[in-house]
C-alpha cells in the first residue's frame, strides 16, 4: 500500500462544523451544514464514471456507425436515444440497456429492425480508452492522498473499466481499485464497499465515498456504513453528508 507516498494524517478528535456550499448564488440544493465528529477521514473512495472521468469519444458518430454496421438507415437523432434510456447505464447489461432505448425509438418511428443487434453494434464501437479526467479530479485526488488512503470503486467489470483507468493513469494515483462488476453484487450493495475499505485496512465508519449517483453511490455508501459526498444537484430522498457542486469542493472537507 502506498498511501500516496506518505502516511495518512491521523484524525483530530475535535468536533467540527463543516459547511459545503455550492459556488453559485442560487444553489439548486440547500447548503448543507452538519456536525461531524472528526475533521478528516482515514480513507477516501471514489466512483469512476461521471465522478473522476468523462468520455471524450464522439458519441454521435458512434451512434451513426452502429446503424452502418447493421445496415439500417438511422431513424432518429442520437439525442433521441439518450432521452429514452432508463436512468444511468446498467453496468451488467449494456446491450440490454441500450437495446431497450433502440426498441422504443424503433416503435416511435414505426421501424421493425433488430434493436439488440443495433445495441451490440453500438457497444462494439465504444472505445473505453477515450476518457479524460473531469475538471478538478486530479486536484481532488491529490488532496485525498495527502490526508487518507484512497481507492476507486467502480460498478463496471475490469474488462471494461481497466482501459479507462489505464488511459488516465489512475492506478498510480490511488492505493486500491475494486471492480464491483466482477463481484456477485454491485453498488448499492454493501459488499463492494466492504471489500474496498478492507483492502485499505480502514473501518467503514472512517471512510468517505465520493460519487455522482444517488441510487448507487450515496445509497450504497450508507448501506455499508460510509459517509457519502454526492457530486450532483438532483433532488434527493437520501441524506448525503456532503453535497458537492464540483470536485473542487472536496479538499475543504478533507482538511
Ligand atoms: Mg458514476
- Work out the end-to-end distance of the chain between its first and last CA atoms, rounded to an integer number of angstroms: 22
| Single pTM value for the model | 0.82
DSSP reduced 3-state for 196: helix
CA of 47 to the centre of ligand 1 (A): 6
28: nearest Cα among 240, 233, 243, 254: 233
Residue 224 has pLDDT above 80, yes or no: yes
Residue 22 has pLDDT above 90, yes or no: no
CA of 214 to the centre of ligand 1 (A): 9
CA of 255 to the centre of ligand 1 (A): 24
Task: Show me where the domains of the chain are located.
Answer: 3-54+130-254, 58-125
C-alpha cell recorded at residue 59: 458519441
CA of 51 to the centre of ligand 1 (A): 5
Q: What is the mean pLDDT of the chain?
A: 87
C-alpha cell recorded at residue 49: 464514471
The pLDDT value given to residue 15? 31
Contact present, 155 and 187 (Cβ < 8 Å) = yes
Contact present, 221 and 227 (Cβ < 8 Å) = yes
Min mean pLDDT across 18-27, 61-70, 159-168, 228-237 is at 18-27
CA of 89 to the centre of ligand 1 (A): 9
Contact present, 52 and 46 (Cβ < 8 Å) = yes
CA of 66 to the centre of ligand 1 (A): 24
CA of 10 to the centre of ligand 1 (A): 29
Q: Which CATH number fits domain 3-54+130-254: 3.40.1160.10, 3.40.50.1000, 3.30.420.270, 1.20.58.340?
A: 3.40.50.1000
Amino acid at each position: 500500500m502506498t498511501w500516496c507516498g506518505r502516511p495518512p494524517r491521523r484524525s483530530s478528535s475535535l468536533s467540527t462544523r463543516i459547511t459545503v456550499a455550492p459556488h453559485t448564488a442560487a444553489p439548486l440544493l440547500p447548503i448543507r451544514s452538519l456536525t461531524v465528529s472528526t475533521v478528516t477521514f482515514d480513507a477516501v473512495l471514489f466512483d469512476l464514471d461521471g465522478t473522476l472521468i468523462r468520455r471524450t469519444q464522439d458519441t454521435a458518430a458512434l451512434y451513426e456507425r452502429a446503424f452502418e454496421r447493421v445496415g439500417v438507415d438511422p431513424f432518429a437523432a442520437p439525442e433521441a436515444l439518450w432521452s429514452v434510456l432508463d436512468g444511468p447505464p446498467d453496468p451488467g447489461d449494456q446491450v440490454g440497456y441500450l437495446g431497450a432505448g433502440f426498441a422504443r425509438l424503433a416503435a416511435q418511428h414505426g421501424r421493425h429492425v433488430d434493436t439488440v443487434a443495433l445495441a451490440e453494434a453500438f457497444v462494439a464501437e465504444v472505445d473505453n480508452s477515450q476518457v479524460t479526467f473531469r475538471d478538478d479530479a486530479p486536484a481532488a485526488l491529490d488532496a485525498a492522498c495527502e490526508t487518507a488512503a484512497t481507492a476507486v470503486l467502480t460498478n463496471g467489470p475490469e474488462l471494461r473499466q481497466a482501459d479507462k483507468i489505464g488511459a488516465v493513469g489512475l492506478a498510480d494515483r490511488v492505493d486500491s481499485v475494486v471492480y464491483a462488476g466482477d463481484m456477485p453484487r454491485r453498488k448499492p450493495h454493501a459488499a463492494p464497499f466492504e471489500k474496498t475499505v478492507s483492502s485499505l485496512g480502514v473501518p467503514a465508519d472512517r471512510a468517505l465515498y465520493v460519487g455522482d449517483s444517488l441510487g448507487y453511490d450515496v445509497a450504497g455508501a450508507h448501506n455499508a456504513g460510509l459517509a457519502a459526498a454526492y457530486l450532483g444537484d438532483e433532488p434527493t430522498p437520501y441524506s448525503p453528508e456532503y453535497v458537492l457542486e464540483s470536485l473542487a469542493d472536496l479538499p475543504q472537507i478533507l482538511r
